[in-house]
Amino acid sequence: MSLQMVPYVLTFLLLVAGLYAIVAKRNLIKVIVGILILDYAANLLLVLTGYRTPPAGQAPVAPILTGGAVQAPQLAATAVDPVPQALVLTSIVIGLSVAALVVALAIRLYEKYGTFDTELMRNLKG
């Protein structure tokens, strides 16, 4: 495995950890944390997808055109892709609002059932 694949493998492990927390845990708080971890893994994968490795000896270039149209082809070949970065910013805002909604729902479920255990919530009628 090359050194360039390490971030992708770690992102995949983060994704698997989030899926495990969602599927295998009975505690509602742990399921919420799993959803958040899964969201962070998706964001990290998008950022990694948009990254371009610069040529040897050069630093990564921000996608800001300062030299006019003459510099545009060089910038397009070496700059980091800005579209995944914009998608990640949107995803962070959506993920935060979903997390707030799920936490509010968990608080209401705790007030009603007195527990965060999903198995006990299924057994209780009311």
Taking the C-alpha atoms of residue 124 and residue 113, their distance in angstroms, rounded to an integer, is: 8
Tens of each residue's pLDDT in the chain, 126 residues? 788 889 999 999 999 999 999 999 999 999 999 999 999 999 999 998 888 777 777 777 777 777 777 777 877 777 788 888 899 999 999 999 999 999 999 999 999 989 999 888 887 765
Which pairs count as long-range contacts for 88-94, CB under 8 Å and 24+ apart, including other chains?
88/43, 88/46, 88/47, 91/39, 91/42, 91/43, 91/46, 92/43
pLDDT of residue 52: 75
Please give the tally of structural domains in the chain: 1
pTM above 0.85, yes or no: no
pLDDT of residue 126: 59
Which range marks the domain in which residue 98 is found?
3-123
pLDDT of residue 125: 67
pLDDT of residue 28: 94
Phi, psi of 79, rounded to the nearest 5 degrees: -80, 155
Sign of the CA dihedral running 27, 42, 48, 66: negative
Residue 93 belongs to domain with CATH number: 1.10.287.3510
